[in-house]
Amino acid sequence: MSDQTKEHTPTITVADQRVASQKGEREFMMDVRTQDLEVNMGPQHPATHGVMRILIRADGELVTGAQPHLGYLHRCAEKIGENVEWLQYLPYTDRYDYLAAMNNNLGYSLAVEALLGIEIPRRATMLRTICAELNRIASHLVAFGTYGLDLGAFTPFLYCFREREWLLMLFEKICGARLTYSYLRIGGVFNDAPPGWLEEVAYFCDVFEEKWAEYRDLLMLNHIFIKRTADIGVITPAQALDFGLTGPMVRGSGIDWDLRRDMPYMIYGEICDANVFDVPLGTGEQGQLGDCWDRVYVRVQEMMESIKIVRWCLENIEDGPTIAELPKVLRVPPGEAYVGIENPRGELGHYVVSDGGKVAVRCRVRGPSFCNLPILEDIMPHTFLADSVAIIGSTDVVIGETDR
């Protein structure tokens, strides 16, 4: 034994000894000394879904403390927003939540449009809704698939990516990009859908409905999967509200809060009036309310609700222009605006301030992954190491967005 090891051996305090002797375990306490192990999960770790580092203090397999450390992927997105023109910032929004770039484009565009006070053509709004909802499905497919991966089930991941691949192909057809679209932009969308695209989306919806049931039966209702996720990482409704969680994280705890319905933007008000979709909530079906299973199942159900919205849009879409008339060099009237939208991960808020110039004075982003992350510190202790992986997966963080 080296000197270093000796230094780290914890001394047994008098109080410990007293407690132990009361229990008649004094000798045991003197002989067996344990010390907590500090493990860095990440920044390079398969379960952290990117370059996040979680400092875990563990007593053997039991996690006694966890602290997320962020900032490995910080790219100064907000500062860049204060230095480039309004339209030029759009591609940067793609990069923070790279799994839901359409939604990011949408949030930023809506915030700037709120300042501009312009009318968006109806066809553009419809295309925006379709793209945003399809992107939600694509994002949830990754969340669901990688969650299976975290628990050691490889195959559902590849099944999910098969459907996601189709979605990415659809996006490629409409805007030429597979991941960073910049398709929804200030004033509308970049261009109209190519001929036959909408029919293909309808076909996708039909096929996906069948596959969805398959995936649900394959993974969500798998006995081992339920054993691994039910009653793990329980977030009580009160906790969810205290931490300001949004998106599937808060809905998994049974709190009925969806910005698409409760603070409608674009045509979501109209969609809600037509009673097109429901907001799935966690019910504690397999365990306690707000456990990992509930959160994941909320995401799985949301995919189906998105399909309903897409179908409604496909029925109601009409011909017309797809982008509003805007000057080449955009000057936004002075003022400030905050628009929050329902990103796949929760409330994505853009707060923009303009002084009437070509660039923003402030461009602040409220990222859902970032705001959903601190709960880890509360729910990870007193779980097993394998559970901590399940919990991180169920928060569905995208590190690009927590760090921006």
Partner 1 sequence: MNDGNAIYRFLQPLAPDFVGDWGVVVTAAMVGVGIVVAIVSVIAMVSVWLERKVSAHIQCRYGPMYVGGWHGWAQTIADGVKLLTKEDLIPVGADRMLFMLSPSILLGALFAAMAALPLAPAFYFGWFDLGVFMILAFSSLTTIGVVMAGWASNSKWSLYGAMREAAQVVAYEIPLGVSLLAPLLVAGTFNLVEASHDQADFFGMGWFVFKNPFVAAASVVFFIAVLAETKRAPFDLPEAESELVAGFLTEYSGIRWSFFFMEEYAAMFLMSAVTAFFFFGGFESPFTYLAHEAFGDGIGYQLVCFATLAVKGFAGIFLMMWLRWTLPRLRIDQVMTMGYKYLTPIALLCVLGAGLWEGLKYALF
Residues that bind partner 1 (CB under 8 A): 37, 39, 45-47, 60-61, 148-155, 158-159, 162, 219, 222, 224-225, 227-228, 384-387, 389
Least spacing, CB of residue 159 vs partner 1, in Å: 7
Residue with tokens 């992107």: 135
Least spacing, CB of residue 69 vs partner 1, in Å: 17
Residue 272, both tokens? 């809600």
The contacts of residue 261 (CB under 8 Å, 6+ apart) are 268, 272, 279
* Pairwise CA distance, residues 253 & 178, whole Å: 33
Nearest alpha carbon to residue 334 among 350, 319, 320, 353: 353
* Pairwise CA distance, residues 402 & 96, whole Å: 8
Least spacing, CB of residue 197 vs partner 1, in Å: 25
Least spacing, CB of residue 24 vs partner 1, in Å: 27
Residue closer to partner 1 by CB (options 30, 158) is 158
8 A C-beta contact, residue 93 and residue 101: yes
Least spacing, CB of residue 224 vs partner 1, in Å: 5
Residue closer to partner 1 by CB (options 306, 394) is 394
What do you get for the CA distance between the two ends of the chain, in Å?
Answer: 45
Report the run of H or E that residue 66 belongs to, with start and end.
strand 62-69
Least spacing, CB of residue 143 vs partner 1, in Å: 15
Least spacing, CB of residue 45 vs partner 1, in Å: 6
Nearest alpha carbon to residue 26 among 17, 34, 35: 17
Residue closer to partner 1 by CB (options 63, 267) is 63
Least spacing, CB of residue 73 vs partner 1, in Å: 20
- Tell me how long the chain is: 404
Residue closer to partner 1 by CB (options 322, 388) is 388
Least spacing, CB of residue 148 vs partner 1, in Å: 7
Residue closer to partner 1 by CB (options 74, 162) is 162
Residue closer to partner 1 by CB (options 96, 159) is 159
Residue closer to partner 1 by CB (options 49, 185) is 49
Count of alpha carbons within 13 Å of 381, Cβ hemisphere only?
Answer: 10
Residue closer to partner 1 by CB (options 149, 235) is 149
* Pairwise CA distance, residues 52 & 56, whole Å: 12
8 A C-beta contact, residue 400 and residue 368: no
Q: How far is CA 70 from the centre of its chain?
A: 16
Residue closer to partner 1 by CB (options 154, 338) is 154
Nearest alpha carbon to residue 182 among 103, 245, 279, 284: 103
The contacts of residue 139 (CB under 8 Å, 6+ apart) are 97, 99, 100, 103, 344, 345
The contacts of residue 84 (CB under 8 Å, 6+ apart) are 92, 359
Q: How far is CA 130 from the centre of its chain?
A: 19
Least spacing, CB of residue 228 vs partner 1, in Å: 6
Residue with tokens 């969308």: 189
- Amino acid in position 78: E
Q: Strand, helix or coil at 351?
A: strand
The contacts of residue 320 (CB under 8 Å, 6+ apart) are 121, 122, 123
Least spacing, CB of residue 140 vs partner 1, in Å: 19
Residue closer to partner 1 by CB (options 189, 389) is 389
Q: How far is CA 122 from the centre of its chain?
A: 28
Residue closer to partner 1 by CB (options 122, 211) is 211
